[in-house]
């Protein structure tokens, strides 16, 4: 064999080796694919209603109000290889995105998963509040201690999950009210807190110190929680994220009212929800629409800020209905069921 032939053979072998190594080399990308879609009017697969309401009359609906999900492959602890990424780029139902899109730098996969779980829990609570607000059912709020800061006055007398019911004799039901009373006390002033701990009344007397902004603080991180007048339980397993909020709210409204929101139709959708019923944008709209259509959905409720992207990738046979608010989404479904055409649609 000539020297030239040997050189070509060796070079070809090296190219082949490099190609094989490159194909299996981990890359910092994540593959997003259509995930499971679940009917919020159905059960969780174990015979238990996915949205279960106790203490209030409920009504059946034989249609679908499905929330949709996105599954992923990859991540800092299980990166996909180059071959998988290339195959995803060529696939019509897979999106290949930079790893930091899903896993921000300096956050572990466990931290991201924990945050997604927290977002799902917040989404469920917001959905319940939004649904009851839409139905005109009063939902009082309460102020809860999330955590206390070590080295601050609160650390010695307060604990997580304590409910602050009054400050210096003034009843409080919002974080703003607590802060207002603290500001009245001033830095170095005394604040007497009425607290509920595991439903038992507790007193706490604290002296404020100056916070970073110079305002009086005692070192407690607060949040607002809701006192729901009856029990609503949403069971979705290990699914995380906030994007099912709209569909949870619609399911609760549907179950609590005699009129069917679906009219027997297969409706799917997505969108975050605030306690006031505002619908917000989500990620992975293309994969979620594909999942919905494959499951049989013909109508897809779409947050207005996702409309442009949704229009460019809408699967055939799927009608996009723009959802700005929970109230608007309900009006749209009622209009569709009555055969009216005045329904907000996605437009570029």
Q: Which of 243, 249, 260, 332 is catalytic?
A: 243
Q: Which of 123, 251, 255, 288 is catalytic?
A: 288
Rounded to an integer, what distance in angstroms lies between the CA atom of residue 299 and that of residue 332? 11
3-state secondary structure of 30: strand
Q: CB-based burial of residue 12 (10 Å sphere; 0-12 exposed, 13-18 middle, 19+ buried)?
A: exposed
CA angle 269, 272, 277 (to 5 degrees): 100
In order, the DSSP letters of 144-190 are: EEEEE-TTSGGGGT--TT-EEEEETTEE--SHHHHHHHHHHH-TT-E
- How far is CA 131 from each of CA 154, 323, 342, rounded to the nearest angstrom? 35, 15, 23
Residue 14: what are its φ and ψ, rounded to 5°?
-65, -40
Q: What is the dihedral of CA 285, 289, 290, 292, to 10 degrees?
A: 140
Determine what percent of the chain falls in helix, strand and coil, rounding each to the nearest 5.
35, 30, 35
Residue 160: what are its φ and ψ, rounded to 5°?
-55, 140
Six token digits for residue 39: 């009917």
Residue 288 annotated among the catalytic residues of the structure: yes
Residue 304 annotated among the catalytic residues of the structure: no
Angle between helix 3-24 and 82-90 (nearest 10): 80
Catalytic residues: 243, 288
């Amino acid at each position: 064999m000539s020297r030239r032939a040997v050189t070509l053979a060796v070079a070809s072998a090296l190219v082949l080796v490099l190609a094989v190594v490159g194909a299996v080399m981990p890359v910092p990308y994540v593959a997003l694919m259509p995930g499971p879609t679940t009917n919020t009017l159905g059960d969780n697969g174990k015979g238990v209603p996915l949205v279960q309401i106790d203490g209030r009359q409920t009504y059946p609906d034989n249609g679908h109000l499905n929330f949709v999900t996105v599954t992923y492959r990859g991540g800092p602890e299980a990166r996909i290889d180059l071959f998988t990424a290339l195959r995803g780029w060529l696939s019509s139902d897979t999106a290949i995105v930079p790893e930091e899109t899903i896993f921000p730098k300096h956050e572990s996969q466990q931290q991201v998963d924990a945050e997604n779980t927290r977002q799902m829990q917040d989404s469920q609570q917001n959905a319940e509040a939004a649904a009851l607000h839409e139905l005109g059912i009063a939902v009082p709020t309460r102020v809860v201690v999330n955590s206390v800061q070590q080295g601050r006055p609160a650390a010695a007398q307060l604990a997580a999950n304590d409910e602050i019911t009054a400050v210096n004799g003034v009843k409080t039901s919002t974080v703003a009210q607590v802060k207002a009373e603290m500001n009245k006390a001033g830095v170095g002033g005394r604040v007497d807190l009425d607290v509920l701990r595991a439903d038992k009344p507790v007193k706490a007397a604290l002296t404020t110190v100056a916070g970073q902004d110079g305002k009086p603080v005692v070192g407690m991180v607060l949040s607002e929680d809701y006192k729901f007048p009856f029990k609503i339980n949403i069971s979705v397993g290990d699914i995380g994220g906030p994007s099912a909020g709209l569909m949870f709210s619609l399911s609760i409204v549907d179950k609590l009212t005699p009129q069917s929101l679906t009219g027997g139709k297969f409706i799917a959708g997505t969108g975050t929800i605030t306690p006031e019923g505002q619908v917000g944008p989500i990620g992975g709209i293309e994969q979620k629409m594909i999942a919905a259509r494959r499951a049989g959905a013909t109508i897809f409720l779409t947050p207005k800020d996702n409309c442009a992207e949704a229009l460019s990738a809408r699967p055939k046979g799927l009608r996009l209905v723009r959802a700005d608010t929970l109230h608007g989404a309900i009006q749209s479904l009622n209009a569709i069921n009555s055969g009216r055409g005045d329904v907000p649609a996605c437009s570029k």
